[in-house]
Amino acid sequence: MLLSRQLAARAHINVGDEVRLATDSAGTTGRLFRVVGIYEPTPDPMRFTALRLETRLHLADLANLAETPGDVAGADTADAINVRLVTPADARPFADDVRARMPGLDVRPTSRPPEGDPFVVLDRFHLAISLVTVAGSTAFLLALMIIRAEERRETVGAMRLLGISRRSLLVEVAIEGLLIAAAGALFGALLAFAAESLVNRIFQSRYDTTLVFLRVTRSIALRSFALAVPLGVAAGIAASWTLLRRDILSLVGR
Amino acid sequence: MTSAWLAWRTMRRYRARTALATIGVAIIGALLFDMLLLSRGLVTSFADLLNHSGYDVRVLNSQGFSLARATIPRASEVDAAIARLPEVASVARIRLEPATAMHHGADINVALISSTHSGTQVAWTLISGADLPADGASADRCPVLVASNLAARLELQPGAPLSLRAGVSGERSVLPAVACRVVGIGASPFSAGDEYQVLTTLSGMRAVRGGADDDTADVVLVASRPESGPAAAVHAIAARHPDLHVYSNEDVVEQFNQNGFAYFRQISVVLSSITIVFTVLLVATILTVSTNQRLGEIAALRALGIGRRRIATMLLWESVLIVGVGGLLALPLGGLVAVGLDGILKQMPGIPEALHFFVFEGRAVALHALLLSTTALVAALYPMWLTARLPIASTLRREVVG
């Protein structure tokens, strides 16, 4: 038989050891099995908090072990049958076909429809939290931009006196906002990328799993850029516009 | 002029930046408040739900609430033996089966639940019609209490016929549909929005299963006597039935807290921490930039005889006012956001309608106030230090004369 890494570590069992398995806690109906290997259980996000104390046997061995005297049908039962299709895209019609031929069986494709998938719901939840964070950050960003614009009131006044147009100044502010927002977004993406390994290591150690909890993908980084850069530019222009619309004399304090 | 008044005057002078910073704190504070509500919400709601059922001990044939079904054999004997224990006030046996409800040509998959007790005794709320009779107390072969969502979908009224066919997992034979009668329409707190529940008696379940009765139960619910308490009842039942697993409501909640709820607890801790750091950084940045812009003004106030401590306190008051007003606004805003986020999370399959992820608690408000007070203090530290070491003469020369 095979043992999960977690069970082998907890029970101090090595490859080659013999282990008695029984279906009752007293071990009276047990049989001896030899451990031929230790495996890492496939990470399952639905069960990441569960301690994976598992063994794998051949079906016939398990049936013999669980056999009840006199229960002939019991030896030929299975909890589930996994089917790999030649054409995976046919999973749904295949399931419908089997269900029609064998009413009473629960037949379903392994891929979840979006409406029943808890991870789609979690994705929506995270998106909603991100939107709230973006709204808060935008307010802070706008406040900072207004302070910066106020700081440059006299400089802007002097530039206007020298004949530089509002339009040119706005373009300058937009480019400046673009550069700052792009640098900020890049820094944020790099910070997330650096935190990825740390966060994964903490959670993997906490739950003794190889499941990946956090992954900064290119599409996520691009989405952050797509959101952060226009917001940064818009905040810069909005804050500067309050200054640029004033007449030149008020800008220079006359 | 006090420091608080000076701070108020400054904030009124710079209205736009103060308003925006306060809005920023309010939005981020709302998220912090929501994470605090989430940190215990599901566990609190789950505990309320369990306690609402009227039973404080659960007897199962499996360790914990595993996905694999393990029914209790000889359930009637177990039920009777538990009921005789002096620590026990009442016992209800529950059995669940998948079934199909058929009405006017429509077939709907339902969760058929049978109970030894009436609907109201197992936490159902009666909406219309009569309650389900206790098992054996009715001549009706198959009385059923249907959930309101099923009644609405099939347009069922009390007294209406409803055909039920058991869908026995793992068996190929198709049992014939059994004509049941709707005695009432109710609501179960444990019902998920996407699930249709039908409650019947043990006799009703036997009829739907084609007369088969293997005398098993999925769970035995036990109400302990008030003078004994659930812990004593758990101990007595476990001693009487060492082969079964006995849990008090507290045990179930603790197990749920350790396993099912771990993700939300951790995401709440992570997001609360990030939110606090984020707020400190942003408020500190705004105060620092704002202070740097007013260095000449602050130096002039110092030259007029206003002491270092008063100026530093003024900056602390500015921070307190921004974070305080933002924090207060965060409470109603957080409440609204929590309703939206709760609605999103409740779209998860199998979540009972009565379960909530965000539950309001006074403790969360107190913690929110404490965290934001600390934020206001920490955010003001650097600008306070800046002004305390400000050289008056050189600053005035640079800022005013220069």
Distance, C-alpha B59 to centroid of its chain: 24
Q: Is A25 helix (H, G, I), strand (E, B) or coil?
A: coil
How does residue A233 score in pLDDT terms, banded at 50, 70 and 90? Answer: confident
- Look at B285 and A144 and tell me if their CB atoms are within 8 Å: yes
Distance, C-alpha B231 to centroid of its chain: 25
What does pLDDT average to over chain A?
85
- Look at B347 and A50 and tell me if their CB atoms are within 8 Å: no
Give A216 to chain B, closest Cα distance, Å.
Answer: 17
DSSP run (H or E) holding A3: strand A2-4
B284 — phi, psi (to 5°)?
A: -60, -40
pLDDT cut 90: percent of chain A above it: 22
Residue A150 contacts B, CB cutoff 8 Å: yes
Q: Where are the alpha helices (DSSP H) in A59-117?
A: 59-66, 91-101
- Look at B174 and A137 and tell me if their CB atoms are within 8 Å: no
How does residue B395 score in pLDDT terms, banded at 50, 70 and 90? Answer: confident
In B, minimum Cα distance to A199 occurs at: B270
- Look at A50 and B259 and tell me if their CB atoms are within 8 Å: yes
- Pairing relationship of beta strands A37-39 and B161-166 according to DSSP bridges: unpaired
Q: Which region, left, alpha or beta, applies to residue A123 given φ > 0 means left and ψ of -120 to 50 means alpha? A: alpha
Q: What is the pLDDT of residues A200-220, one digit of tens each?
A: 998 888 888 888 888 899 998
Structure tokens at B258: 């350790």
Q: What is the pLDDT of residues A237-254, one digit of tens each?
A: 888 887 777 777 777 666
Asked if residue B374 has pLDDT above 90, the reply is: yes
Structure tokens at B10: 């400054």
Q: Give me the residue from B171, B259, B345 closest to A121, CB to CB.
A: B345
Q: Which region, left, alpha or beta, applies to residue B72 given φ > 0 means left and ψ of -120 to 50 means alpha? A: beta
- Pairing relationship of beta strands B143-147 and A2-4 according to DSSP bridges: unpaired
Q: How many residues does chain B have?
A: 402
Instruction: Give pTM, 2 decimals.
Output: 0.77
Give B14 to chain A, closest Cα distance, Å.
Answer: 9
pLDDT cut 70: percent of chain A above it: 94
- Look at A121 and B260 and tell me if their CB atoms are within 8 Å: no
How does residue B63 score in pLDDT terms, banded at 50, 70 and 90? Answer: low
User: Which of the two residues, B333 and B278, has the higher pLDDT score?
Assistant: B333
| Of B187, B188, B200, residue with least CA distance to B132 | B200
Window 21-60 of A, Cβ < 8 Å to B: 48-50
How does residue A72 score in pLDDT terms, banded at 50, 70 and 90? Answer: low
Q: What is the DSSP string of A217-249?
A: -HHHHHHHHHHHHHHHHHHHHHHHHHHHTS-HH
Q: What is the pLDDT, as a whole number, of residue A138?
A: 86
Mean pLDDT of A171-181: 85
Beta bridge partners of A39: A4
Interface confidence, given as ipTM, is: 0.76
How does residue A102 score in pLDDT terms, banded at 50, 70 and 90? Answer: confident
- Look at A121 and B282 and tell me if their CB atoms are within 8 Å: no
Q: What is the pLDDT of residues A134-158, one digit of tens each?
A: 888 888 888 888 887 877 777 888 8
Q: Give me the residue from B23, B293, B340 closest to A147, CB to CB.
A: B293
- Look at A49 and B28 and tell me if their CB atoms are within 8 Å: no
Q: What is the pLDDT, as a whole number, of residue A252?
A: 66
Judge contact between A122 and A114, C-beta under 8 A.
no
Mean pLDDT of A43-51: 79
pLDDT cut 70: percent of chain B above it: 93
- Whole-number Å distance between alpha carbons of B376 and A235: 25
Mutation target for B interface from A122, A131, A140: give the one with most B CBs within 10 A: A140
Structure tokens at B210: 């084609």
Mean pLDDT of B11-23: 87
- Look at A136 and B262 and tell me if their CB atoms are within 8 Å: no
How does residue A73 score in pLDDT terms, banded at 50, 70 and 90? Answer: low
How does residue B67 score in pLDDT terms, banded at 50, 70 and 90? Answer: very low
3-state secondary structure chain B: CCHHHHHHHHHHHCHHHHHHHHHHHHHHHHHHHHHHHHHHHHHHHHHHHHHHCCCCEEEECCCCCCCCCCCECCHHHHHHHHHCCCCEEEEEEEEEEEEEEEECCEEEEEEEEEECCCCHHHCCEEEEECCCCCCCCCCCCCEEEEEHHHHHHHCCCCCCEEEEEECCCCCCCCCCCEEEEEEEEEECCCCECCCCEEEEEHHHHHHHCCCCCCCCECEEEEEECCCCHHHHHHHHHHHHCCCCEEEEHHHHHHHHHHCCCHHHHHHHHHHHHHHHHHHHHHHHHHHHHHHHHCHHHHHHHHHCCCCHHHHHHHHHHHHHHHHHHHHHHHHHHHHHHHHHHHHHHCCCCCCECCCCCCCCCHHHHHHHHHHHHHHHHHHHHHHHHHHHCCCHHHHHHHHHHC
Mean pLDDT of B131-147: 81
Q: What is the pLDDT of residues A103-119, one digit of tens each?
A: 767 788 887 776 667 88
- Whole-number Å distance between alpha carbons of A206 and A215: 18
- Look at B348 and A118 and tell me if their CB atoms are within 8 Å: yes
B307 — phi, psi (to 5°)?
A: -70, 165
Residue A102 contacts B, CB cutoff 8 Å: yes
Chain B residues close to A104, C-beta within 8 Å:
167-174
- Look at B259 and A49 and tell me if their CB atoms are within 8 Å: yes
In A, minimum Cα distance to B346 occurs at: A121
Point out the least confidently predicted range of A63-77, A149-163, A184-198, B154-168: A63-77
- Give residue A39's identity as a one-letter amino acid code: Y
How does residue B137 score in pLDDT terms, banded at 50, 70 and 90? Answer: low
Judge contact between B115 and B221, C-beta under 8 A.
no
